[in-house]
Each structure stands twice: as structure tokens, then as C-alpha cells.
């Protein structure tokens, strides 16, 4: 039986390989594969098309024009931290707008 966290980790691996396996080195994303991944998986978060070029350059630490799984996980981690912060800010501002009943 797979836990929710293990399922999420397994999904990250699956998603990466479902794009990286399309052409060239099947364990690395080239620019087209990365572009497709960002477009199909994260279009709601990353709507600016210019962002693909920027992300490719930022992620590709060893400048080989390809993104390996470790480089990909760094992106996912950063985005998830940003989403989490957004979630907390929303929750805090919601509490201020709609404070619960005061305790006696």
C-alpha cells in the first residue's frame, strides 16, 4: 500500500520520464521536451511563453542544453514552496477577513 507522499514522489518520476523519453537521451529533457512538460503540466502556473527559455537557462546548471531529473526536481521544489507560501498567505488573509467567534 503506497502512502500519499510516496504516490506524489512516484508521480514526479513518472511525469519526468513521460516527457524525457520522447526523444534523444531518454533520461534527460531537451528544450522541446521541457517546453511540452511546462505547457502541458504547469500552464496554469506558468502562463508566459518567455518563461520556458528563462527556466531552461536557470535549470540547466551544467549548461549542456538538457535538464536531468535532479535539475527538474529543483524546479518542482521551488514552485511547490511558492505555492505553499501563497496558500498560507491566502489562509491568513481569509482568517483576518472572517475571524472566528471570540473566546470568552
Which residues here bind a second copy, judged by CB under 8 A?
Answer: 3-16, 27, 37, 40-42, 44-45, 69-70, 73-74, 76-77, 79-81, 83-84, 87-88
DSSP-derived 3-state class of residue 60: coil
- Is the Cβ of residue 16 or residue 33 nearer to a second copy in the bound state? 16
* Matching residue, cell 467567534: 101
Tell me the C-alpha distance between 80 and 50, whole Å: 21
Distance of closest approach, residue 98 Cβ to a second copy, in angstroms: 17
- Is the Cβ of residue 10 or residue 93 nearer to a second copy in the bound state? 10
Distance of closest approach, residue 4 Cβ to a second copy, in angstroms: 5
Q: Return the closest-CA partner of residue 71 out of 80, 79, 62, 82.
A: 62
Tell me the C-alpha distance between 51 and 57, whole Å: 10
- Is the Cβ of residue 32 or residue 82 nearer to a second copy in the bound state? 82
Distance of closest approach, residue 57 Cβ to a second copy, in angstroms: 20
- Is the Cβ of residue 5 or residue 50 nearer to a second copy in the bound state? 5
Q: Give the ranges where the chain is alpha helix by DSSP (H).
A: 4-20, 31-42, 50-59, 69-97
Amino acid at each position: 500500500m503506497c502512502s500519499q507522499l510516496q504516490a506524489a514522489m512516484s508521480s514526479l518520476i513518472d511525469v519526468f520520464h513521460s516527457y524525457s523519453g520522447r526523444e534523444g537521451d531518454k533520461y534527460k529533457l531537451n528544450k522541446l521536451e521541457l517546453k511540452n512538460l511546462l505547457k502541458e503540466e504547469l500552464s496554469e502556473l506558468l502562463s508566459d511563453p518567455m518563461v520556458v527559455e528563462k527556466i531552461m537557462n536557470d535549470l540547466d546548471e551544467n549548461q549542456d542544453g538538457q535538464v536531468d531529473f535532479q535539475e527538474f526536481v529543483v524546479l518542482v521544489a521551488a514552485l511547490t514552496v511558492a505555492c505553499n507560501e501563497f496558500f498560507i498567505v491566502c489562509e491568513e488573509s481569509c482568517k483576518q477577513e472572517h475571524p472566528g467567534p471570540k473566546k470568552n
